[in-house]
Amino acid sequence: MIFEGLNTASSELNSPVIIFGSGPAGMSLALDLEKKNINSIIFEAGEEFYSDESQSQYQGTILGDPLESLEQSRLRQFGGTSGIWGGWCRPFEKYDFKKWKLSKKDLDLYLDGACNILGIKNEFRSSLLDNDIKQIEYQYSTIQFGSYYKDHLQKSKNIKVFLNSQLTHFESENKKISAAIIRSKDKTIKMKSKIFVLATGGIENSRLLLWSRFKNKKLLDKSLPIGKYWMHHPFVYGGKGVIYKNKLNKKFTKEFLNYEGPVHFTPSEKFLDSKNLLSCSMHIIPVEDKTYQNTKQILREIACFAPKLGNKLRLFLQRKELYCGNIKMHLEENYDAKNYISLDDKKDEYGIPRPVLNYNQNKSTILSCKSALLAFANFCVEKDIGRIAISEDVVNENKIKNIAQGGYHHSGGTIMGDNKNNSVVDKNLKVHDTNNLYVVGSSIFTTVGYVNPTLSIVQFSLRLSDYIKNKLI
């Protein structure tokens, strides 16, 4: 059942599991608990649909390198940021788990279930093209959690959703959450439960924990690095490229032509290991027929420094054997304690301090971007399948910051680990030294890899569902 606010009978407010946030993390958890016949309540701070008033609660300050505004990159409404997400899905690679406290196999146990929730197939092909480069494939989800699951939640006997219901802070006793304080515009309630789950995103999870610790000195150990090791997912337009299909080897041709959507590449694990680089991906955004002039412009630019190649490419273009476009790169960021979320003196209408994001782009990210793009360019030359014109801003490490843009994938701040001195949650997503408080979502990520986070977020939610079931037995 979905309620517009807190004005309802107290009998509706009893549940062994309380979840804050109705985005992919929180809703996936509730849906899976429902399959186990476990009741849950979701408190969503936003309204059913977008409103400027509600969205303004996400305002905050950014210090350091330029980044998209905090209210621009997330959505405060029913279904969370899935209301504006791109739908790209692919699981983390084995390489990404080197710094995690669990393996890819541990998380892949929940891949089928996550794909089902997102309405996609568990088919994520990859093909090693040579020692340095492999081609990968994404699946694309069209599911916006609020609109897609609304009817199901309205009819659900196990899940209750309360909109316009802002968690302000937690109270604690004997290393347990004793109550959550929740406010609507005209009502404040104190909720008790066996288990509390924070699923409010890569900024809010840290913000609410920081504020709760400030309000209650007995809650959350002072050593917990709440808000630290924040990461996001920068992208760079690294240059322009052309690939001519009749020069492709048989293996590459088959894979290239069968993959749907943009053609994606990533450095191999061997290449990343050999150079101690962070992960990244590249895809060629094709120039469509309707932008034929843009294609010709790319060829003219290439012909300026390679006249013979330019003539060859014009011939391929005439034969319609040319794949041409801009190269977009998604980059992993190294987790760094210097990138962190703190609290401002300014407060929102609920009296919660607004977040301050302290962010500086990591040099490892810049080096990885440059090295991977050079490897891809060399691959194209060696196989004689095309050419890449790398942007001067990528080659110049001092300029790459000028073209790096926010990837809208906030991660870290409550990262996973064994030690409370350098992590906030354990491998089961329980907050260190707090027996009934859990965090789920991209804020628990130790690394971000090159892939978009939503599929992995849902996997973690399903894994947490299993753990909660065992706790409640």
Q: How far apart are CA 57 and CA 201, in angstroms?
A: 14
What's the pLDDT score for residue 192? 93
| Percentages of the chain per state (helix, strand, coil), in multiples of 5 | 35, 25, 40
Burial 432-444 (b: 16+ CB within 10 A, else e): bebebbbbbbbbb
Whether 412 shows a pLDDT value over 90: the answer reads yes
Q: What is the pLDDT of residues 338-355, one digit of tens each?
A: 999 999 999 999 999 999
Q: What is the pLDDT of residues 208-264, one digit of tens each?
A: 999 999 988 888 888 899 999 999 888 888 888 777 665 544 445 455 545 555 668
Q: 194 or 386, which is more confident?
A: 194
Q: Mind listing the domains of the chain with CATH numbers?
A: 2-64+76-121+143-229+413-472 (3.50.50.60), 235-332+364-403 (no CATH)
Burial 330-360 (b: 16+ CB within 10 A, else e): bbbbbbbeebbbbbeeeebebebbbbbbbbe
23, 29, 30, 35 alpha-carbon torsion, rounded to 10°: 140
Whole-angstrom CA distances from 45 to 104, 356, 410 are 33, 20, 19
Are the C-beta atoms of residues 136 and 126 closer than 8 Å to each other? yes
What's the pLDDT score for residue 326? 82
Q: Give one DSSP letter per residue of 192-217, joined into a string.
A: --SEEEE-SHHHHHHHHHHHHHHH-T
What are the strands, taking DSSP E only, across 360-404? Answer: 386-390
Q: Region 104-118: what's the mean pLDDT?
A: 97
3-class secondary-structure state, position 38:
coil
Percent of the chain whose predicted confidence (pLDDT) is above 70:
85
- Give one word for 174, left, alpha or beta, with left for phi > 0 and alpha for psi -120 to 50: left
Average pLDDT, the chain: 86
Percent of the chain whose predicted confidence (pLDDT) is above 90:
49
3-class secondary-structure state, position 350:
coil
Q: How far apart are CA 244 and CA 128, in angstroms?
A: 19
Whole-angstrom CA distances from 258 to 129, 136, 244, 327 are 15, 11, 16, 20
Q: 412 or 68, which is more confident?
A: 412
Q: What is the band of 9 on the pLDDT scale with cuts at 50, 70, 90?
A: very low
Distance linking the first and last C-alpha atoms of the chain: 25
Choice among 112-116, 234-238, 338-342, 383-387 with the minimum mean pLDDT: 383-387
Q: Region 434-459: what's the mean pLDDT?
A: 95
Q: Region 169-196: what's the mean pLDDT?
A: 91
Q: Region 317-325: what's the mean pLDDT?
A: 64
What's the pLDDT score for residue 65? 82
Q: How far apart are CA 401 and CA 296, in angstroms?
A: 29
For the entire predicted model, the pTM comes to 0.90
Whether 292 shows a pLDDT value over 60: the answer reads no
Q: What is the band of 291 on the pLDDT scale with cuts at 50, 70, 90?
A: very low
What's the pLDDT score for residue 249? 45
Q: 324 or 382, which is more confident?
A: 382
For residue 167, which of 22, 312, 36, 380 has the smallest C-alpha distance? 22
- Give one word for 322, left, alpha or beta, with left for phi > 0 and alpha for psi -120 to 50: beta
Q: How far apart are CA 463 and CA 32, in angstroms?
A: 10
Q: How far apart are CA 118 and CA 95, in angstroms?
A: 24
Q: How far apart are CA 54 and CA 312, in angstroms?
A: 55
